[in-house]
Amino acid sequence: GYRSRASYKLLEIQEKDRILRPGMRVLDLGAAPGGWSQVAARLIGGNGRLVAVDRLPMNPILGATVICGDVYDDAILAACEEALAGGADLILSDMAPNMSGIASVDQARAIALADIALDMAQRWLVPGGALLMKVFMGAGADGLRRDLRQHFRRIVVRKPEASRARSAEQYWLASDFRGTRRGPLS
Ligand code: SAM
């Protein structure tokens, strides 16, 4: 069984887009409790590399490096970079902020998390790589899309059946990364 219902969203996207393949190096952002990581670990197999990050503690995933910390923390970025050891083929982000109840604040926080995922993609994704992330539709989504366009040749929107009830939530799959990397952390 899977640790979270979120697994089914990733499985549905996988079914259509085949983003996970054996041997891939994958970074999973906002991974706890670990449903996506379970799916990713199985599909990349023993020759793959999986780095899972969350500020909440999470049970181990066989074959994965689990990093417990906040993506806003530079020390956590450095830990990701070390664990990836040379780059990622795919970055997943199912990150979502803690909801404050103030819609404009929550939306801004959600877009800020998406910006961080894009930032990590620019640092670590190999040319041709892909970024799948949760996006909350609202203020800032258009700007995010423009930013993604600069770095990826293809962007598609996915709305898995398993996520239909959450109306503002979409998943964006940006693929064929142009390879304009920022270089490692200094
Ligand atoms: N994909 C996961 C799964 O399949 O089990 C579910 C992820 S859950 C929807 C969103 C996660 O994002 C939460 O576990 C939360 O702790 C994490 N998150 C939110 N903000 C974060 C941050 N700044 N740094 C690290 N993780 C964060």
pLDDT per position as a tens digit, 74-87? 999 999 999 999 89
The values of phi and psi at residue 128, to 5°, are 90, -10
Distance between CA atoms of residues 105 and 113, nearest Å: 13
pLDDT attached to residue 162 = 84
User: pLDDT of 15-27, one tens digit each?
Assistant: 999 999 999 999 9
pLDDT attached to residue 184 = 61
Decide: 2 in ligand 1 pocket, CB within 6 A.
Answer: no
Q: Could you tell me the distance, in angstroms and rounded to a whole number, from the CA of residue 54 to the centre of ligand 1?
A: 6
The values of phi and psi at residue 95, to 5°, are -65, 140
Instruction: Indicate whether 182 pLDDT > 90.
Output: no
* Cis bond before residue 160 (omega within 30° of 0): no
Q: Could you tell me the distance, in angstroms and rounded to a whole number, from the CA of residue 51 to the centre of ligand 1?
A: 14
| pLDDT category of residue 163 using cuts at 50, 70 and 90 | confident
Distance between CA atoms of residues 36 and 29, nearest Å: 10
Name the token pair of 4.
């979270």
Q: Which CATH superfamily is domain 6-177 in?
A: Vaccinia Virus protein VP39 (3.40.50.150)
* Alpha carbon of residue 136 to chain centroid: 14
pLDDT attached to residue 1 = 86
pLDDT attached to residue 181 = 61
β-sheet bridge partners, residue 64 = 50
Name the token pair of 84.
């990836």
pTM, two decimal places: 0.96
Instruction: Indicate whether 65 pLDDT > 90.
Output: yes
Q: From 3, 70, 94, give the residue whose CB has the most ligand 1 atoms within 8 Å, as the site to mutate.
A: 94
Task: Give the range among 28-37, 110-119, 146-155, 176-185 with minimum mean pLDDT.
Answer: 176-185
Instruction: Indicate whether 119 pLDDT > 70.
Output: yes
β-sheet bridge partners, residue 30 = none
Distance between CA atoms of residues 4 and 35, nearest Å: 5
Decide: 70 in ligand 1 pocket, CB within 6 A.
Answer: yes
Residue 149: in which H helix or E strand, if any? helix 141-151
Decide: 48 in ligand 1 pocket, CB within 6 A.
Answer: no
Q: Where are the domains of the chain?
A: 6-177
pLDDT attached to residue 167 = 78
Q: Could you tell me the distance, in angstroms and rounded to a whole number, from the CA of residue 18 to the centre of ligand 1?
A: 23
Decide: 120 in ligand 1 pocket, CB within 6 A.
Answer: no
